[in-house]
Amino acid sequence: MISGVDRRLLVHANWPLLGFAALLFLAGIVNLYSASGERLENGIRVAPFFYRQILWGGIGLCALILCTLFDYRHLKPLAFPFFAVTLLLLVLVPLIGVRVSGAQRWISLGFFNLQPSELAKISTLLMTTTLLSRYQSPLDWPRFSLTLLIAFLPCALIFIQPDLGTALLLLMLTGGIILYHGIRLSILKVCLVVLPVLPPLGWFFLLKEYQKKRILTFLDPSQDPTNAGYHITNSKIAIGSGEIWGKGFQEGAHHLLRFLPEKHTDFALAVFSEEWGLIGSLLLLTFFCCFLLCIANTAREAKDRFGSLLCAGIFFYFFWQILINIGMVVGLIPVVGVPLPFISYGGTATIVNCILLGFVLNISMRRFMFKAR
C-alpha cells in the first residue's frame, strides 16, 4: 500500500522534467547508434560504445531513483567529505591516471574508467550551495572569496590534466550560483572591471601552446584546415550538408566515412544535424529549452534556500554545457571539449547527469513537506 505522504511525493514530482530528459536520452541513443556506425563493404558495423551507453543509461536510472528516496537536506552534512574525497581523486589523477589522446583524466577501476572531474561537478555544486544556503544577505568580500576558493581548488587540479573546458565550466557554474544568491554591488562592479583583464593574462601565463592554437584556429579555421582546424571545418560541413530536412537516419556520409572526428562525443550534434537537418536540430533545441525551464521552475518553487540554490546550480550546470557545446560545434567559440548532455557518449557524465536530475526531482517531490524559510 502507498501511504498518503508517498502519493503526495509522486504527485509533486516534476514529471515533465523526467519526460524531456527521457526524450533527450532517447535522441542521444538513436544518434549514437548512427554515429558509431562505420560503412563497410558488407554493410554498417556498429561500434561497442553504443551498447555501453545503454548500460550507463540503466545505471544512471538506478542512481536517479536512489537520489529521490531520501530528504535532499541530508546532503548538506555530506558536502564537505564528498568534496574532500573528490580533491583527493583529482590529486591522484596525475600520479596513477590513465592517459588517453594526450590527456590524463581517468583512473582505471578495471571494468570502468572513473573521471574525477565529473565528480567534481557534483561535489563543488553541493559544497557551494551548502555554504551559500547559510547566508541570507548578499555576499560580502570574505564570503565571496571563500566561495571562489572552493571552486578554484578543483579547477586548478582539473586544468593541469589538462581539461580547460571542465575547469571553465566549474567556474561559470559557481559564478551562476553566486549571482543567483546575490552579491553586493561593490563586488559586482569590481568583477566587471577585472573580468576583461583575465583573458589576456590567461593567454600569456596559463594557456598551453595547443590551447592557443585552438583559439587562433577558431578565429581563422582556414589557416590550418588539415590539423588544428580539421574538427571545426568538418563539423560545419556536416551541419551544412544536412540543410533543412537532413539526409535521413544513417545517411550522413560525412561521419560514416570518418571525415568527422569525435563524432560520438564532442561533435555528436554535428552528426544529428547532418541526418535530421535544421528542423530536427530546432526540435532538439526546443527539448533542451523545455528541460531547462522545468529545472528553473523547480528552483523557483523550492521552499528552502538550499533546495532553491541546488536547483539553480543544476540549471547552470546543464545550461553552460549546452551553450558551450552548441557554440563549439557551429564555430561560435573555440573547441574546449565540453560534451552535450544526454547526446554525447560518456559513462561517468551520463551517471552524473542522472544523479543531478534525481536531486531536482527530489526537491520538487518534497516542496510541500515544510514551510518556506
Radius of gyration for the chain, computed over Cα atoms and rounded to the nearest angstrom: 21
Q: Give which of 237, 272, 281 is closest to 345, Cα–Cα.
A: 272
Instruction: Give 9-60 pLDDT, tens digit per residue.
Output: 777 778 899 999 999 999 989 888 887 765 544 555 556 777 888 899 999 9
pLDDT exceeds 90 at position 291: yes
Q: Quote the pTM value.
A: 0.88
CA-wise closest residue to 13 among 55, 52, 67: 67
How do strand 98-100 and strand 113-114 relate by DSSP bridges?
unpaired
306 pLDDT more than 90: yes
Query: What are the distances in angstroms from CA 264 to CA 30, 69, 70, 160?
Result: 11, 33, 35, 25
At residue 229, the pLDDT reads: 63
Largest CA distance in the chain: 68
E-assigned strand segments in the chain: 37-40, 43-46, 98-100, 103-108, 113-114
- Of 162-171, 306-315, 325-334, which has the strongest mean pLDDT? 306-315
Amino acid at 78: L
The ranges assigned to domains in the chain are: 6-365
Cα separation, 67 vs 62, in Å, equals 9
DSSP run (H or E) holding 49: helix 49-66
- Does the structure show a pLDDT above 80 at 370? no
CA quadruple 202, 204, 207, 213: dihedral sign? positive
Band (pLDDT 50/70/90 cuts) for residue 373 is: very low
Over residues 53-77, the pLDDT tens digits come to 889 999 999 999 999 988 899 999 9
> Rounded to whole angstroms, how far apart are CA atoms 218 and 161?
22
Cα–Cα distance between 324 and 340 in angstroms, integer?
9
Cell of 367: 516542496
| Prior bond of 225 cis (ω within 30°) | no
Q: Which amino acid is at 41?
A: E
For helices 347-365 and 49-66, the axis angle rounded to 10 degrees is 30
CA distance 319 to 171: 13
Give the separation between CA 145 and CA 50, rounded to whole angstroms.
43
Mean pLDDT of the chain: 82
Q: Are 350 and 53 in contact (CB under 8 A)?
A: yes
Name 245's Cβ contacts closer than 8 Å, sequence gap at least 6.
276, 277, 278, 279, 280
pLDDT confidence band for 232 (50 / 70 / 90) = confident
For residues 316 and 360, give the distance between their C-alpha atoms in angstroms, rounded to a whole number.
Answer: 13
